[in-house]
Amino acid sequence: MRARVFFFSSTVPSLTLQSSATRFRTPSFLPHRRFHLLLQRTITQSTTLSPNSTPRTTLTPFASISSMSSSFYPEKARVPPAIQSPTPPITKFKIGLCQLRVTADKLRNILHTRTALEEAAAKGAKLVVLPEIWNSPYSNDSFPVYAEDIDSGFDASPSTAMLSEVARLLKITIIGGSIPEKSGGKLYNTCCVFGPDGNLKAKHRKIHLFDIDIPGKITFKESKTLTAGETPTTVDTEVGRIGIGICYDIRFQELAMLYAARGAQLICYPGAFNMTTGPLHWELLQRARAVDNQLYVATCSPARDADAGYVAWGHSTLVGPFGEVLATTEHDEAIIISEIDYSQIELRRTNLPLEKQRRGDLYQLVDVQRLNSE
């Protein structure tokens, strides 16, 4: 349905209600429901009533309605207040999403991923995103076996050593999907971000663990082996401020809202939705996170392997700040190349100024980590 825009004049005549039973005609230029809501919200409170008097209701001019918004305190809807998105060195660029088939051969996975990164860069991608758990089968039995000690350096982590080298040689930013990480006697599902200089810029440990039980469909509990991360992750790169989530993290809109309040222009979710929830929620969640926060959302899944213990849905996707699907694929191996243009964020936020309309007088999003650091 095409949206209609109605313009209201400040000279709209007053409307008198003679009794609660009196019916009135809605002016032809106003849709009935919109008019009724406007009427209810602008009842004059200063009217003095006598036993024989008739309540009078006047329509408030739009200038007054606009002034009412100042009492909403939109700046207080986010505590601390939202951070302005920084202007990165590159504001328009190509992104590559590498949907890869994962095997039980770790060395093969590493070499195959390297080839995919090189191909994406050759096609012009300045930012490349990898899938969740790309160096290992996705199973609780595999996580301890394939886990790497990232903090101990590249000798103890061949997967991240490869990512660092490729990022440096190709001068690209890599959102390194995720791999099983071992640290301090615990296991994590971890995403590493490398800059064009090859340095590790950020490390995100999956915050929301995938514990699900749909009888007759799928049961999986990451918490059997993995430990949840404790820190939301935003990272400044040459291609913008990026928020990082891993798969199940996408279901929690609060995390995306927090990233938007921290000035993120793009949220990347390496993920491996399954054949039950994938068809229902994968695209829906991506579009919701993008349109709610008016930013870009990129996801990258493993390719589908019907013989694997865990079968991924695939469908890696890029969604724009208006909730539009800009690029996607099916379930086979693929390298998707698409374009991100951050001017579209400003355009959409001008079209729909949600930031200025938030009701800070009614609700707040509290970024506990930022609040405690001040």
Would residue 182 show up in a list of annotated catalytic residues for this protein? Answer: no
Confidence band of 211 (pLDDT split at 50, 70, 90): very high
- pTM of structure: 0.82
pLDDT of residue 374: 79
Determine the Cα–Cα distance for residues 100 and 117; give it in Å rounded to an integer: 11
Q: Detail the DSSP E strand segments found in 228-357.
A: 233-237, 240-244, 266-270, 296-300, 317-319, 325-328, 334-341
Catalytic pick from 98, 106, 126, 132? 132
Catalytic pick from 191, 247, 268, 300? 247
Catalytic pick from 126, 182, 203, 206? 206
Name the pairing type of β-strands 200-205 and 179-183: unpaired
Q: What percent of the chain has pLDDT over 90?
A: 80
Stretch among 108-112, 194-198, 203-207, 217-221 having the lowest mean pLDDT: 217-221
Element (H, E) at 342: none
Q: Are 331 and 314 in contact (CB under 8 A)?
A: yes
State pLDDT tens for residues 146-199.
999 999 999 999 999 999 999 999 999 999 999 999 999 999 999 999 999 999
Q: Are 150 and 191 in contact (CB under 8 A)?
A: no
Given the structure tokens 């995306």, which residue do they identify?
256
- Going by C-alpha positions, the residue among 349, 350, 327, 321 that lies closest to residue 339 is 327
Query: What is the 3 state secondary structure string of 27-39?
Result: CCCCCHHHHHHHH
Given the structure tokens 């790169």, which residue do they identify?
237
Would residue 206 show up in a list of annotated catalytic residues for this protein? Answer: yes
Would residue 98 show up in a list of annotated catalytic residues for this protein? Answer: no
Domain boundaries, the chain: 91-372
Q: Between these two residues, 167 and 72, which has the higher pLDDT value? A: 167
Task: Centre a 10 Å sphere on the Cβ of residue 129 and count the other Cβ atoms it contains.
Answer: 28
CATH architecture of the domain with residue range 91-372? 4-Layer Sandwich (3.60)
- Cα dist. 184→188, 205, 208 in Å? 10, 14, 20
DSSP string, 82-116: PPPPP--S-SEEEEEEEE----S-HHHHHHHHHHH
